[in-house]
Amino acid sequence: MKIVLALGGNALQADPKDASAESQLRTCRETAKSIVDLIEEGHTISVVHGNGPQVGQILSSVEAGHKSNSANVLFPFDVCGAFSQGYIGYHLQNAIAEELGKRNINKNVGTIVTQVIVDKNDSGFKNPTKPIGSFYSKEEAEVLTEEKGYVMKEDAGRGYRRVVASPKPIDVVEKDIIKGLVDAGTVVISCGGGGIPVILENGEVKGVPAVIDKDFAAEKLAEILDADALVVLTAVDKVCVNFNKPDQKAIDVMSLEEVDKYINEKQFAPGSMLPKVEACKKFVQYNKNKIAIIASLSEAKEALQGTSGTRIVF
C-alpha cells in the first residue's frame, strides 16, 4: 500500500524535558524502527512530521538574540519553519536510512523542504490564535506591533506572545517532485511541520506568518499522492471518548456519522485529538474506499493489520 504517515510529537521528542538535538536523534532512531517495519512489509511510505517544540526553540533563540542585540537578524516565522524542516528531516532521514541498512533494505530516503499553499482569504487570518515564540512585556509587545506589525496577545498572565493564523492547506508547491520520488520508491519526508505556509499573489509564491496543522497537511498530501491509507501516529493506541473519565471508552472503528456526533459533543481536544480525527474524516470523504487510522507509533504495523488503533470509515 501507498501510505502517508503523520508523526506526532512523541515520534521526535520522547522526553519533553530534554529538547536537545541529541535527544531528538535518539528518539528518531526508535521511530525509524516502526517506519521500517512498514517498509519491510512492502508498503510505500511518505512521512509528514510536526515541528511545534522545535520551531518554538528556533524562534525563541532568534528572538533572544534580537533582544540582546537589535543588530541581530529577526528571521521571519516562515524562514524559522524552513529551518525546522531541514533540522528534523536531517535526523529522520539519517535514522531511517540507518535502520534500512541494518535490515539490508536498499531504499533511498530524502527530505523535501516543502511549501504548502493556503488561501490568503482563509478565515484564520482574520483572527490569529496560534501563540508562537517568546513572552514579552506589554511595552515590548507594543513596540513589536508598531514596528513589525505583529499581533500580540496576553497569555494567561505570563506576558504577551505573538499569535499567527492556522489556515487549512489547499495545495503543495513541490507536489510533482514528491510524486516522482514516491513513484521511484524513495521514502520521502515532506510537508514538515505542516509545511511552510505560502500564498499565491500576482504569480508569485510568498511566505506568510502562519502555522498549518501537520495532520491536515498530511491529509492533503495523501490526496495528492492518491495514497491508499492515511495513518496518524500519536501517543495513544486508540481514540477514546470521555477521555480521562471513569467511563472512558476506546474506539476500534468510527463511522463519519459517529465522528460528527463526537465532535459536536466536544469529545476531542482542539490542538490534540480533534485535528487528527478531522483530517482522517476528510481523507475518507475524499474517497470512501481509502483507509484512515489513528494509532500509537509503536503499534503502527498492528494498526494496519486491524489489530490496534482506531479506523475511521465511510
Residues that are catalytic: 9-10, 130, 214, 276
For 93, the enclosing helix (H) or strand (E) is helix 77-102
CA gap 91, 253 in Å, rounded: 34
**CB of 118 closer than 8 Å to CB of 168:** yes
CA distance 190 to 45: 11
Instruction: Report which of 198, 124, 126, 130 is spatially closest to residue 164, judged by C-alpha positions.
Output: 130
Q: How many residues appear in the chain?
A: 314
Nearest to 232 by CA among 243, 246, 216, 253: 216
Helices (H) and strands (E) in the chain, counts: 9, 17
Single-letter amino acid, residue 42:
G
CB–CB of 300/38 below 8 Å? Answer: yes
C-alpha 93/C-alpha 98 separation (Å) is: 8
- CA 116 to CA 211: how far, in whole Å? 11
CA 303 vs. chain centroid, Å, equals: 20
Query: How many angstroms separate the first and last alpha carbons of the chain?
Result: 19
Lookup: cell for 224 = 495528492
Task: Give which of 72, 83, 7 is closest to 45, Cα–Cα.
Answer: 7
